[in-house]
Chain A
Amino acid sequence: MFSFKERAIKFIFSCLAFSCLLFLLAIVVILFWQGAPLFSYMDFSQFFFGKSWYPTSQPPEFGIFPLISGSLIVTLGAMVVCVPLGIGSALYIYELSGPNSKKILKPIVEILGSIPSIVFGFFALTIAAPAIQQFFNIPTGLCALTASIILGIMAIPTITSISEDALSFVPNSFREASYALGANKFQTLFKVTIPAAASGISTSVILGMSRIVGETMTVLMVSGGAAVITSSFFSPVRPMTATIAAEMGEAAFGSLHYQALFAIALVLFMTTLVFNVIAERISQKYALKLGANR
């Protein structure tokens, strides 16, 4: 602690840590720097509530409302798929699987969580979309419904894994107390264990939602790509992430279109940031709540 060498080593680590911080902060700075100039061309309400996204027409229009609605409808649909299936799977692993199959199921869920999104997108495009088109007898399988289902499945491992952690975190004494009062397994699960793990489970849902909103390749491949406002699951949509991925290649560096895409990235960044903060708040409360019992 007193020698020159020790101080030099500490200095090197501080520098590396500081440069890490700079890199991480650079993301925010760059997004603002590249995206903010758009708002000298148009104001916020035109951007958020403008009903048409025609970036290449003359004059171009950059209303992202259709894109937001696309993201919303796909996210909503995906939640319908992943919340029950994800939490249900977590409950099964926690309550019904034996200790041995639990040892296998948990890692499998985690491993499945690492399947790249491009693989899901590819599967959706080649298998799921034609199947859905035939089954519902609709003009194209590349629509909000397909995107929702696939995104929902992608988010299941996230939700299952975190929910199961939250459930196993509930002290055994809670369950024993319930059993001792004559409750059966199901009553104990729903009246004691799940409420005790509720905040952990909600955290998992929010993180799953965050993953769905930010998912790019899958929606790029199967959502259909139409930037229109729709309320039907059977029509093609164009969520925000897909718009960025599809159009960035064509947008000229520094053009309004380029700035608009960065502005969309900013919106995405803020959205996931908010999700993250909420998730963190919940899990902090949760730690406080159960902290006293351990």
Chain B
Amino acid sequence: MLEQNIRVKAKDVSFYYGQKRALKDLNINFFTNKVTAFIGPSGCGKSTFIRLLNKMNDLIPNTRAEGKILLDDENILDKKVDAVKIRRKIGMVFQKPNPFPKSIFQNVAYGLELCSMSKKEMERVVEESLQKAALWNEVKDRLRDNALGLSGGQQQRLCIARCLAVEPEVILFDEPCASLDPISTSKIEELILELKKQYTIVIVTHNMQQAARVSDWTAFMYIGELIEFSPTKEIFVVPKEKKTQEYLSGRFG
């Protein structure tokens, strides 16, 4: 991979919960218009790591990060960097669908209302985002209905649309299908493959098959360390590390 295709670059990243070190010297690059998947047993730090990318861990008291995560030559981990600005560039979709208890329209428009935008423009962006999230046809006649009335899979796609509306460059998915049924899951996976044409995507998943299906690069983490980072095609066929091989063959985790 060429250096200019790197969208986000993490260098020697460590993270502490109080005294406990949860991440140890992670080095990883995320490439433009590629999907990078994080796999590993629960508690290995994959979620902790991707939450560093959009400064969500700032909200947890008594934590500390070391190292650098560079986005456009700016170190995200620097305390002085504005979290709001970073989060507008790096969007996030969470494990459990978390729509606001508002209408479908208001949910997608939430991020737009934060900056001033004309009503017409807003309606256009909402429709566009819902279409990109493959939800428009299902909800176009009931945009004023409460979002909590949607099914779980629809809610998650709404959360994706909501994230797309603020026009991020990178999208983080934190186990987006953990609480969804197989049909909804496959819809979200299709969507991710569609979205990578425009965005840089990072996904955390419990499900190795899912990583194999959607990602271009796969990172395997174990107890706070990055064990292996290779193209997905290689890691599932010929893992370089013994730990990776053991995990992939189901010996632990």
Direct contact of A and B (CB under 8 A): yes
Chain A interface residues toward B at CB < 8 A? 1-3
A1 vs B84: C-alpha distance when bound (angstroms)? 8
A105 vs B57: C-alpha distance when bound (angstroms)? 47
| Contact flags B71-87 to A (C-beta < 8 A → 1, else 0) | 00000000010111000
A125 vs B84: C-alpha distance when bound (angstroms)? 64
A242 vs B7: C-alpha distance when bound (angstroms)? 76
Is the contact region of chain A dominated by helix, strand, or loop, or is it mixed? loop
**What are the residues of chain A within 8 A of B58 when measuring CB–CB?**
1
**What are the residues of chain A within 8 A of B80 when measuring CB–CB?**
2
A2 vs B82: C-alpha distance when bound (angstroms)? 6
A186 vs B58: C-alpha distance when bound (angstroms)? 55
A3 vs B83: C-alpha distance when bound (angstroms)? 10
- With CB as the reference atom, state the residue of chain B lying closest to A1: B83
The smallest beta-carbon distance between B24 and chain A, in angstroms, is 27
**What are the residues of chain B within 8 A of A2 when measuring CB–CB?**
80, 82-83
- With CB as the reference atom, state the residue of chain B lying closest to A6: B84
- With CB as the reference atom, state the residue of chain A lying closest to B79: A2
B73-107 CB contacts (< 8 Å) to partner A: 80, 82-84
**What are the residues of chain B within 8 A of A1 when measuring CB–CB?**
58, 83
| Contact flags B91-128 to A (C-beta < 8 A → 1, else 0) | 00000000000000000000000000000000000000
A3 vs B84: C-alpha distance when bound (angstroms)? 10
**What are the residues of chain A within 8 A of B83 when measuring CB–CB?**
1-2
**What are the residues of chain A within 8 A of B82 when measuring CB–CB?**
2-3
- With CB as the reference atom, state the residue of chain A lying closest to B83: A1
Q: 7 pairs across A/B with beta carbons < 8 Å?
A: A1-B58, A1-B83, A2-B80, A2-B82, A2-B83, A3-B82, A3-B84
The smallest beta-carbon distance between A181 and chain B, in angstroms, is 38
**What are the residues of chain A within 8 A of B84 when measuring CB–CB?**
3
A166 vs B80: C-alpha distance when bound (angstroms)? 49
A1 vs B82: C-alpha distance when bound (angstroms)? 8
**What are the residues of chain B within 8 A of A3 when measuring CB–CB?**
82, 84
- With CB as the reference atom, state the residue of chain A lying closest to B81: A2
